[in-house]
Structure 1
Amino acid sequence: MRLPKGQFAHFSYSTQIHYYSLSASFHQLLACWVIFLVVLSSFIAWPELSSPLILISFYILILLLSFCWAWLLYRLKCWHCEFIIDNKGQGKLLPDGDFVQVKPAYICPFVCILYLQLDNQVRRDIWVWADMVNDTDYRTLCRVVNSYDPLNND
């Protein structure tokens, strides 16, 4: 992928950097739907709906949950994240700024979770699902974040 100009002047030429542009993926949407269905199934355990007050609150909660989930899915479809990362656990989250990897990444075949800390001391987790990028880029990202140990950075 081509890197945007002027964004990465602070990286040295000897450091190999990797650029990733992420947007919502099928696996991410599937995980949200599974969580939604698990939460929705909790309404099965409600007590008997004999009282009008319980019945009204039951349907209001289901309606609120559905509206919140629709809003979340809309926001997820519009979500976009761009970042670069080098083999030293440092990078730039666009447009938020520079970051460092503060914990070892969680890596599995479906998702890679990056634990980052921005320059303003805000911690952020980035979930990179395997289908957000092509297979080669996903394996490269996993190798890069796995090669850096933030707990033992000399």
Structure 2
Amino acid sequence: MHVTLSASFNQFLSHIVLICVCLTSFLLWPVSHFVGLSILRGLTLLAVTAFFIWHIKQLRRQRCDLYLSETGDGTLDHDAFVVWRSAIVTVFACVMFIEFESSSSKKKKRQLLIVWSDMLTDKDYRQLCRQLNKLKRNQDN
């Protein structure tokens, strides 16, 4: 199965929730009458806010090609991977646990890949869900 993943509204909303959780942590900082700590708090808040704004802008341009075979191996933007653990398949998103096959280093890089349902057409998302459920059944046996 070969599909192109693009940024989605559900992905955007999940990032907004994460940003809100991170920014509300600044409310827990103690009130300080020390000017240096107040400046540090303000600069940290400014840096974190700037990073999240940059991240949201980058998210709009995100696109990647996903190929997944029947055996659980595939490519993500031409980087080979294998599904190393059973995927979590829901109506809203598929969570895939992938491990990249790197020939340059002996340590393999594991990554979580979340495919939101609105990243694909309905037909492609259903096909991906079926394929991941089939892989899960094969891994359980």
Structure 1 length normalisation: TM-score? 0.79
> Match of 2:121?
134
TM-superposed CA distance for 1:70, in Å, is: 1.5
Q: Does 1:115 align with 2:115?
A: no
- After the TM superposition, which segments of 4 or more aligned residues of structure 1 sit over 6 Å from their partners? none
> Match of 2:13?
30
Equivalent residue pairs, number: 136
- Mapped to 2, the partners of 1:145 and 1:152 lie a distance apart of 10
* RMSD of aligned residue pairs (Cα, Å): 2.0
TM-superposed CA distance for 1:150, in Å, is: 8.6
- Mapped to 1, the partners of 2:131 and 2:38 lie a distance apart of 53
Structure 2: stretches of 5+ with no match in the other structure: 103-107
Structure 1: stretches of 5+ with no match in the other structure: 1-17
> Match of 1:125?
112
Secondary structure of residue in 2 paired with 1:84 = strand
TM-superposed CA distance for 1:153, in Å, is: 7.6
> Match of 2:105?
none
Q: Which has the higher helix share?
A: 2
Structure 2 length normalisation: TM-score? 0.86
Q: Does 1:87 align with 2:70?
A: yes
Q: State, as a whole percentage, how many aligned pairs show the same letter.
A: 30
Q: Which runs of structure 2 are paired with 1:59-78 in the superposition (5 Å)?
A: 59-78=42-61
Q: Is the CA contact 2:86–2:139 (under 8 Å) kept in the aligned structure 1?
A: no
